[in-house]
Amino acid sequence: MATNVQQVAVSKPGASSGSQGNASEYVVRVPNDPLKKYSMIKFASGTDIDFLKLSHGKVKMERENNLRQYKTIYNLDAMPKFGAGSEYGREQKEEARRKKYGINIKKYNPNDQPWLMKVGDGKDCKRYKGVREGTISENTSYYIFTKCADGAFEAFPIEEWYNFQPVVKYKYLNSEEAEEEFSRRDKTMNLFSIMVRKRIKNEEETEEKPEDKKDKKKDKKSLILTDMEDWMETEDEEEEEEEAEEGAEKKPKKEKKEEKTKRRKNAKINADDEAVEESDEGDFDDRELDYISDSGSESSLDEKAKNDKYDDQGVDQEKGLKKLIDSEEESSEEENKEEDEEDEEEEAEKEAQSKKEKKKKKDSKENNKEAGGESDSSSSSSDSDDSDIDKNEDKFSSVLFMQEKKRSSRPNTPTVEKLEIKTEPKSEGGIKRKIEAEEGGAEKKVRTESPAPSLKTSASSSSISSSGEITEEAIRHYLTRRPMTAKELVQKFKAKKSQMSNEQLTQKIGQLLKKINPGRKYIKGVMYLSLEKTE
């Protein structure tokens, strides 16, 4: 055989007779054109494409440009390279850092990017994406043998293989959703609803407009045996909504939203139920009779009772337990209710005098901070925000109230006190009092211990400063409390006497200071004025 073939090979080209049949010889050429590069397109099995039919049609191809994606992955373009926001030498620094840590970023090679092919034109086109296939093996190479006009064969090596797949534009479920739907496949009748549902979910999430509530309410089936019923219900509702939608726009949307959220909730519940059932290996708890629960064993129930059994009612809601639980909660519930009411009232008051509120909040914070440390109530009052000395007067009243309140055994006092105090005549002082009350709540004990002396001093001091005049007495009073800088003094009086200009204020204060001649301390380079306490 081998010799036969050899002989044939040696003989001239052309047909020659052999025992088997016609033999023809062709010369094989391997042209070496460096410019032409051959690649193979492999279409996914089942893809319907035939270039023969389309030979008069159009085919277009181009590499995909993923440079932008490449840059965002590696954060190469995060900062601008010049102009606003750019740093000098940023690129070099980044590169140096990468080299130092040996971070190698794969270079973006545009010749490795997938191909995009478009067959046909206009609306009727089909798009394909061709991804390169790796591992052209080291031991084989593929050649294309084509027959030339002169009867010789030409062989071209194929350098790359691309797998082309049609590009899908329709939406599909991702793996999680697919798993979900798969588990429900026996129950779903309408497969269209799956995608419709998905689309509506997406719309919901992007929807932000608040909408009016729909008036009509549906009677929902309280018993839902299978998901089928659930979907059927909601489908019916959907259809109805679509009809009504032509008229009213907002309402149905809101209803849908509710439906979907409910359905979603249900879906979740269902999923959970299923999971629980699967994993429940048989604690056999359901066989036990719970004395308080109404549910009994299955066999004794008839059809309706069985349906009722599946009703979603927590154990605590069942008649027996409910009473027990309710009685316990009653007392605490009542308390909470009362507090809530008070809070509401207090808030209403606050809104009425909204301007001062912010200031007060600041005050209250400061008060609460310092209140913990101070034992003397009068000193704490001076530590509180400086501009309001009126508070002292009100403190008088608040302390009184606190004494009364002490008798009620309430743990949370601040809110309650606020309520009571609001009956005071001075409306402006109302909020201030609240602050005082809060503070009072924190150190209520201390105050009640020594109400008498604090009352005295606070009363006296309040009378002095509340008048607002810049008197020697007032300054003395301030300086006795704590050392202050001249600036602070000015600030205090500024609030009172806003009519006077700064210069006038400082002049007056200066005069008075000379009279008083307070001691001077230097703390951190700032001069503080103080008066020794004289009792």
Binders of another protein among residues 53 to 72 (CB under 8 A) are: 54-55, 58-65, 67-68, 71
Piece of the chain touching another protein by CB under 8 A; list 152-160, 250-258, 281-289, 387-395 = 152-160
State which H helix or E strand residue 522 sits in.
strand 519-523
- The Cα–Cα gap between 188 and 186 comes to 6
Q: How far is Cα of residue 130 from the mean position of the Cα atoms in its chain?
A: 38
137 or 534: whose CB is closer to another protein?
137
Closest approach, Cβ 73 to another protein, in A, equals 13
State which H helix or E strand residue 289 sits in.
none
Residue 195: strand, helix, or coil: helix
Question: Taking CB under 8 A as the criterion, which residues in 118-137 touch another protein?
Answer: 118
Six-digit token string for 4:
């036969």
Which whole-number Å values give the CA distances from 100 to 72, 104, 106, in the listed order? 22, 10, 16
111 or 408: whose CB is closer to another protein?
111
- The Cα–Cα gap between 380 and 383 comes to 5
Piece of the chain touching another protein by CB under 8 A; list 14-22, 179-187, 311-319, 399-407 = 14-22
Q: Residue 30, interface with another protein (CB under 8 A)?
A: yes
54 or 324: whose CB is closer to another protein?
54
- Hey, which residues does 348 pair with through a beta bridge? none
Q: Residue 424, interface with another protein (CB under 8 A)?
A: no
Q: Residue 14, interface with another protein (CB under 8 A)?
A: no
- The Cα–Cα gap between 236 and 438 comes to 57
Q: What is the contact mask toward another protein in residues 205 to 234, using x (rule: CB under 8 A)? A: ------------------------------
Q: Residue 2, interface with another protein (CB under 8 A)?
A: yes
| Cα radius of gyration (the chain) | 44
Sole binder of another protein in the list 3, 12, 14, 24 (CB under 8 A): 24
Six-digit token string for 34:
């460096």
Piece of the chain touching another protein by CB under 8 A; list 50-58, 201-209, 398-406, 482-490 = 50-58
- The Cα–Cα gap between 359 and 390 comes to 14
Q: Residue 45, interface with another protein (CB under 8 A)?
A: yes
Q: Residue 37, interface with another protein (CB under 8 A)?
A: yes
Residue 115: strand, helix, or coil: strand
Piece of the chain touching another protein by CB under 8 A; list 39-47, 258-266, 389-397, 481-489 = 39-47
Cα 220–226–229 angle (5° rounding)? 40
Q: What is the contact mask toward another protein in residues 160 to 199, using x (rule: CB under 8 A)? A: ----------------------------------------
Closest approach, Cβ 382 to another protein, in A, equals 39
Are 424 and 433 in contact by the 8 Å Cβ rule? The answer is yes
Q: What is the contact mask toward another protein in residues 374 to 413, using x (rule: CB under 8 A)? A: ----------------------------------------
Q: Residue 151, interface with another protein (CB under 8 A)?
A: no
80 or 510: whose CB is closer to another protein?
80
**Which residue in the block uniquely carries the two structure tokens 């999430």?**
205
Closest approach, Cβ 2 to another protein, in A, equals 7
Q: What are phi and psi of 374, to 5 degrees?
A: -85, 145
Are 64 and 114 in contact by the 8 Å Cβ rule? The answer is yes
The residue count of the chain comes to 535
